Amino acid sequence: MNHIERIQELHLNLPQRCLKDHFLSSPAPRLQNLKISGSGSSQQFPALFDGDTPALRTLELSSCLVPWYSSTLHGLTTLNLRFVPSESQQNMVEFLATLSCLQDLRHLYLVYALASTAGFLSSTEFHSFQKIDLPRLSRLLIVAPFSTVIAFLACVNIPSKTELRLNCGFEAGLSLHDYASFFTVLSQRFSTSTSQALSSPTFRSLVIDLTSYRAALTFSSLEHDCDSFDSMSQDWGCNTPLKISVCWFMSDTRNPLDCILGDISSIVPLMDVQSLHVICPPVSPATWRTALGHLQGLRYLKLSFGDLPDLAPVLSLTDPTTSEGAEGQSGHTNRSPDRMLAPALEELELHRISFQKRSK
């Protein structure tokens, strides 16, 4: 490429076979913004611009085998890595060592850029790892295996005001202990000092997607944020400091909603959840009595894609077990008003819900 030393911004969207070694091998001292989208070829390239990119501020790489960490990146403010081939992925220790040099980094987006770190979490190296600091980070997006998200949060100090978007992929062998470890690590960033007791993050919205055999949960710190996690389109700057998506392990698939909310409530307080969206909701009124018992502050409920022929008992939202009391001294049964299971509920939204009973 002619006059590469004069270019300040460069976007390349082309097959890997078109990226010849000499194409990106010359120094680019004035280059500030670089974006490369490849086609996932197995062709490996040497250091970008011979590692000479002192002015680089924004680097975006997608589906290409480029050793980005070999370049001069000390002034980088935005790093966006998506669908990094396994051949180009660093292990967690190497990746953190690279990040530790990026003290001006403000935006970090990692979408399928890091492999599982399950082995690292169980190593002595992890337990003795010296945390790195990213003092200016304001936005962090991670889409990675569950263990990788835990390792990153445990090994990196980020400002309390950083907007977080975390999508934790399912890994074999996940248990409630692993989920508890994740939320414990997450809670550490909400504590202002090392001596202060951990304070759980406040979640005001919860999406439970029961479409497949493995439930997908989305937690949000913003009320009425009932959309599922979308790693390609994020609502940055919308006063949503925290949004998390996890694939949830279910110990009882017969009553998944009961199981999920029961398990979650044993790890994360749900009293602040005000908005709930259930996709493919259960039919049983008994299930809803149990589920809503965990969500006493619920104000908005959305149900999508399901068959609810007996919707009326569900919408009564009362607990009939409190209607009959013990017999009084006069021999008459004391009857008290039904206890509202969702006393704060203000709005119900139904989307593609069928009310017809299926023929047997």
Is pLDDT of 333 > 50?
no
pLDDT at 340 over 90: no
pTM of the model: 0.85
Nearest to 244, CA basis, from 212, 200, 278, 206: 206
Span of 129-138, 233-242, 316-325 with lowest mean pLDDT: 316-325
- 61-67 long-range contacts (CB < 8 A, ≥24 apart) are 61/35, 61/36, 62/36, 62/37, 62/38, 63/37, 63/38, 63/39, 64/16, 64/19, 64/36, 64/37, 64/38, 64/40, 64/88, 65/16, 65/38, 65/41, 66/24, 66/36, 66/38
- The domain spans of the chain are 4-188+200-269
Interval 187-193 mean pLDDT:
62
Joined together, the tokens standing for residue 222 give 């913003």
pLDDT, residue 44, reads: 65
Give percent helix, percent strand, percent coil of the chain, each to the nearest 5.
25, 25, 50
Nearest of 322, 317, 326, 323 to residue 291 by alpha carbon: 317
Q: Report the pLDDT value the prediction gives residue 10, as an integer from 0 to 100.
A: 87
Question: For the segment 204-243, what is each residue's pLDDT rounded down to a tens digit?
Answer: 999 999 887 778 899 998 888 888 777 666 677 766 788 9
Q: What is the pLDDT of residue 314?
A: 63
| 3-state class (DSSP) for residue 5 | helix
Give the Cα separation of 289 and 272 in Å (integer): 18
Spatial CB neighbours of 182, under 8 Å, sequence gap ≥ 6: 146, 149, 150, 153, 168, 246
Residue 136 predicted with pLDDT over 60: yes
> Amino acid letter at 180?
A
What pLDDT was estimated at residue 83? 93
Residue 69 in this model has a pLDDT that exceeds 50: yes
Distance CA 15, CA 13 (A): 7
The position carrying tokens 């199981």 is: 259
pLDDT tier at 202, thresholds 50, 70, 90: confident
pLDDT > 90: percent of the chain: 34
Among 72-86, 160-174, 279-293, whose mean pLDDT is lowest? 279-293
Name the packing angle between helices 146-155 and 176-188 (round to 10°).
Answer: 30
CA 172 to chain centre: 18
DSSP helix/strand/coil, 180? helix
Q: Are 134 and 99 in contact (CB under 8 A)?
A: yes
pLDDT at 42 (0 to 100): 59
pLDDT(339) > 70: no
pLDDT band at 45 (very low <50, low <70, confident <90, very high): low
User: E strands along the chain, which residues?
Assistant: 9-13, 33-37, 58-62, 78-82, 107-111, 132-133, 139-145, 156-157, 163-169, 205-209, 215-220, 242-248, 275-279, 300-307, 318-319, 324-327, 333-335, 339-340, 347-354
Q: Token digits for 127? A: 């337990």
Token representation of residue 40: 């996932």
Which residue in 268, 322, 256, 255 sits closest to 295, CA to CA?
Answer: 268
- 35 vs 231, residue with greater confidence: 35
Whole-number pLDDT of residue 53: 80
Half-sphere exposure of 48 (CA within 13 A, CB side): 24
Query: Which pLDDT value is given to residue 343?
Result: 82
Give residue 348's Cα distance to chain centre.
26
Give, for 118, the enclosing helix (H) or strand (E).
Answer: helix 118-121
| Alpha carbon distances (Å) from 256 to 141, 209, 294, 300, 307 | 29, 10, 14, 21, 16
pLDDT higher than threshold 50 for residue 302: yes
